[in-house]
Structure 1
Amino acid sequence: MGHMQESESPKLYAAREPIFPRRVKGTFRTLKWWLLAVMLGIYYLTPWIRWDRGPAMPDQAVLLDLANRRFFFFMIEIWPHEFYFVAGLLIMAGLGLFLFTSAAGRVWCGYACPQTVWTDLYILVERWVEGDRNARIRLHRQKWDLEKTWKRLLKWTIWLAIGLATGGAWVFYFTDAPTLLGQLLTFTAHPVAYGTMAVLTFTTFFFGGFAREQVCIYGCPWPRIQAAMMDEETITIGYRSWRGEPRGKQTVAGNGDCIDCMACVNVCPMGIDIRNGQQLACITCGLCIDACDSMMDKIGKPRGLIGYLALTDEPLERQGLKDKPIWKHILRPRTIVYTVLWAGIGIALVAALFLRANLDVSVSPVRNPMFVTLSDGSIRNTYDLRLRNKHGEDRWFTFTAFAPADVTLTLEGTEEFRVLVKANETKEQRLYITAKADTVAAKTDNLPVRLWITDAEGPSLPPVTDIPKAERVYKDTVFHGKVE
């Protein structure tokens, strides 16, 4: 008895049964091919787009320059202290995923997820080398012989080449692509580049070629949380059982439109039967719709036995009533809230991007000690400045101070009130603010001080009264006097 109970206990993991999707033509398959071509084209070609940013600056349009801690996207440049732009884009991506899932189910999984895109590409290669579904099944069951060996070796070689191109394209985003390509070919690139390419080559080869649907079922968390994003108004793929059941031959009276041809199952990359209802493994790719519509055309039945619909449409269709318009399914409180949040963050990021100054200054008072008493009794405070010049040319930063009491400024290393900051660089500068003895400032704690910083263009020092193309910002700080 104990042995029987042990043998009948459910298993948490089912051994993988290989899936061999059949080729299908139709609207959704065509859409997926176009999206695949566009997305892979963007991924592989973007690092090679050039963008002139002037001397001493990278001319790559999209570059994640980790060495200098800056991100470049065409005319946009993101500095380390502006990481909130990246955080905002990540939040927008998350909200966008919630929005599209709430409105149309797992469209991301079915059309744009990298796992789906590269798996589609790998299946295309597999079909080109080994044939369509029946030929691949036969080859899979066939003993290892010359035919099976050369076909598998050819397929795996192409898969490895795609994986290598994928890893290579990824590392090109982090440094100048033409330069890195030359280094890779001459084996002079940094070991990190080779290591990254090796890891991505293997993961692409394994996930796209062998794991496939297992990644979606066991490795991806999104199927587990998609139910929280969907409700009865969400448009997703479903089987109209009230029209298709009972299944069988059309020559038998009383049978539904489904002839149980298994076309929808044979084309599914996840290997599921959509007629069994909504399932965790379904990625809503729409291929079952194409297969079923094609079969309905052949037997002279109307299309739509399998199609996009919402749960609230089912009782209406059973009664022969008209479905709700699509816009009523999409425009509902949940999707409106997601859209407002998504658009609000996007507008805020765009506004922040265009309103940000090319001159950035941070002021940090030195707290140890709070102040220094000089030999003549004057009180001096010390401040550390970080001056960021986001312009494409050298700029002079000029300093002035405004306070309720008289104070004087001194810049360390120069008698001027100006320092030169190189193009697209950050300069650290020490500033001293001094108040003479027996003045109000020298005897006041937490005296507010406003530092005004003006930048001016040019390699030579312009006169103070003639500052062309100047930009001005201010920073508030405090002056600590000696309170008796």
Structure 2
Amino acid sequence: MSVSEADDLPLFAPSKKVYPQSVSGPFRRLKWGLLVVCLAIYYLLPFLRWDRGPNLPDQAILLDLAHNRFYFFFIEIWPQEVYYFTGLLVLAAFVLFLMNAVAGRIWCGYLCPQTVWTDLFLAVERAFEGDRRERMQRDDAPWSADKLWRKGAKHLVWLMIAWWTGGAWVLYFADAPTLVRQLATLTAPGMAYVWIGILTFTTYALAGHMREQVCKFMCPWPRIQAALTDDEALNVTYRYDRGEPRVSVKQAARLRAAGQPAGDCVDCRQCIAVCPTGIDIRDGAQLDCIQCGLCIDACDTVMDKIGRPARLIGYDTEANLKRRQDGLAPVYRPLRLRTAIYAALILLVGGAMLYQLATRSTAGISVLHERTPLFVRLHDGSLRNAYTVRLLNKRPETRPFALSVAGLPGIGVEAVGVRATADFRPVIDVDPDSSREVRVLVTVPPGTPLEQSQVITFTASDLFAGEVVRTQDHFIAP
């Protein structure tokens, strides 16, 4: 090849459209079952009710942006408790790492939203345009009335699914039945229509048109998981120790009769035809493989027809391939140092979050010392500091909090504009599910030995429920 001919070659080979063929088998049935469960959860969960009492929303899962609350069944998360979301993200990462260490990209193959919606869109496509061969022939054929209505109907159903996908998403941010009525009568907030439009477009584009391109080029997980796996992780694997050399069924029979080696693979290419990313699993581990197991079903069907053992392609480990080549029995080690560390981290993070939830307070207190002036000397010689105290009430009813301050002898406390108890403690009423700020004056009588800065403790006690919250600040002296 001359230099000029080499310069004319394209840098990248053009991609070809993938036409996945339908297949039946245990892995396909598992994927159908998970698809139904995942879609049912996503579409129906906003309509699930959960009674939280009066004056609170009864939607089981609700991200209430208007009131800065997140409701998840009996759990209510406030904006300042964002660390729960951080914990969930960390927990999800460790679960994903553990799944990868045990069985490869099972998330990608069975539970990833891109996989679930792509499977749904493929099912619609097959319903209107037929299986792989029919779709390929129809795409190559000139336009006709039959081709037009089939493709038009397919895209219409795709758009309906995409529209409802976007519509279901916005239902998590408002009362679902109310928002559905508003959407139907065109009285919903404008932002709801904007987000439905965005998610309709992205779902239609990603699941209907981009499909395997998302997994190959857009998703970062294949690159990350390659650094997290090892030779003991289960992956969809072509058992080349059994499949090679590839020969036809008749030739394999002749070779075996003559006592010569013959592989079980008959090069039927069914594993390629059913692959949603269009790869050849026989080429070994590849970033494009999403580990969906459909090639296992396709290969098992062929092995059954030619009378050979199943699982020429199956979930296996690289270590076992080497063991079988050395004449050793396969060994499966799901419990090893890597998986034990991930499991321990999951238990640690999950346990910490559960403990925090179990011991979380439904009240809160914060104190801010006034800067100007830092202290005031009164006419009788006593010393006064002023503070802004914020009390937080996370419950759905009004709560009275009695405020006291300790840390110095003879210390006195006064809150501006509030009532007091019989023992002269200020009582601050905080409305349901809200916070309240009050100006608090702390006074120390004359003659009290003082340092320039001394720690004092603010305590707020719920007069009804008995819950107590505390915080500390400093009393400033000359």
Question: TM-score, normalized by length of structure 2?
Answer: 0.94
Match in the other structure for 1:117: 116
**In structure 1, how many angstroms separate the alpha carbons of the residues matched to 2:390 and 2:155?**
53
* Correspondences of 1:14-413 after superposition (within 5 Å): 14-252=13-251, 253=255, 254-324=261-331, 326=332, 328=333, 330-413=334-417
Match in the other structure for 1:425: 434
**In structure 2, how many angstroms separate the alpha carbons of the residues matched to 1:59 and 1:352?**
24
Q: Deviations over 1:398-441 (max 9, x none)?
A: 1112123221111121242101111221222222212234433x
Alignment check: 8 A CA contact 1:167 1:197 kept: yes
Q: How far is the alpha carbon of 1:144 from its aligned partner? A: 1.4
User: Please, what is the CA RMSD of the aligned residues?
Assistant: 1.5
Alignment check: 8 A CA contact 2:101 2:233 kept: yes
* Correspondences of 1:414-453 after superposition (within 5 Å): 414-416=418-420, 417-440=426-449, 443-453=450-460
Q: Percent identity?
A: 45
Q: What secondary structure sits across from 2:85 in the alignment?
A: helix
Residues 1:3 and 2:10 are matched in the alignment: no
Q: Quick one: which amino acid aligns to residue 295 of structure 1?
A: V
Residue range with higher mean Cα deviation, 302-311 or 387-396: 387-396
Q: How far is the alpha carbon of 1:28 from its aligned partner? A: 0.7
**In structure 2, how many angstroms separate the alpha carbons of the residues matched to 1:17 and 1:412?**
75
Q: How far is the alpha carbon of 1:376 from its aligned partner? A: 4.2
Q: How far is the alpha carbon of 1:228 from its aligned partner? A: 0.6
Q: What secondary structure sits across from 1:247 in the alignment?
A: coil
Q: What secondary structure sits across from 1:231 in the alignment?
A: coil
Number of matched pairs? 464
Q: How far is the alpha carbon of 1:282 from its aligned partner? A: 0.1
**In structure 2, how many angstroms separate the alpha carbons of the residues matched to 1:476 and 1:110?**
52
Match in the other structure for 1:472: 468
Alignment check: 8 A CA contact 2:232 2:319 kept: yes
Match in the other structure for 1:465: none
Q: Deviations over 1:161-194 (max 9, x none)?
A: 1111110111111111112112212222222111
**In structure 2, how many angstroms separate the alpha carbons of the residues matched to 1:383 and 1:401?**
12
Alignment check: 8 A CA contact 2:399 2:430 kept: yes
Q: What secondary structure sits across from 1:369 in the alignment?
A: coil
**In structure 2, how many angstroms separate the alpha carbons of the residues matched to 1:204 and 1:269?**
17
- Consecutive unaligned residues of structure 2, counting only runs of 5 or more, are 256-260, 421-425
**In structure 1, how many angstroms separate the alpha carbons of the residues matched to 2:155 and 2:321?**
45
Q: Deviations over 1:297-335 (max 9, x none)?
A: 1111001100111111012222443210x3x2x111111
Q: 1:58 and 1:132, CA in 2 relative to 1: closer, same or farther beyond 3 A?
A: same
Q: Deviations over 1:435-470 (max 9, x none)?
A: 234433xx432222112211133xxxxxxxxxxx31
Alignment check: 8 A CA contact 1:167 1:196 kept: yes
Q: How far is the alpha carbon of 1:373 from its aligned partner? A: 3.2
Match in the other structure for 1:462: none
**In structure 1, how many angstroms separate the alpha carbons of the residues matched to 2:187 and 2:15?**
42
Q: How far is the alpha carbon of 1:368 from its aligned partner? A: 3.5
Q: What secondary structure sits across from 2:196 in the alignment?
A: helix
Q: How far is the alpha carbon of 1:82 from its aligned partner? A: 1.1
Q: How far is the alpha carbon of 1:377 from its aligned partner? A: 4.0
Alignment check: 8 A CA contact 1:250 1:256 kept: no
Alignment check: 8 A CA contact 2:171 2:179 kept: yes
Residue range with higher mean Cα deviation, 400-409 or 163-172: 400-409
**In structure 2, how many angstroms separate the alpha carbons of the residues matched to 1:456 and 1:34?**
53
Q: How far is the alpha carbon of 1:383 from its aligned partner? A: 1.7
Question: TM-score, normalized by length of structure 1?
Answer: 0.93
- Consecutive unaligned residues of structure 1, counting only runs of 5 or more, are 458-468
Q: How far is the alpha carbon of 1:2 from its aligned partner? A: 5.2
Alignment check: 8 A CA contact 1:453 1:473 kept: yes
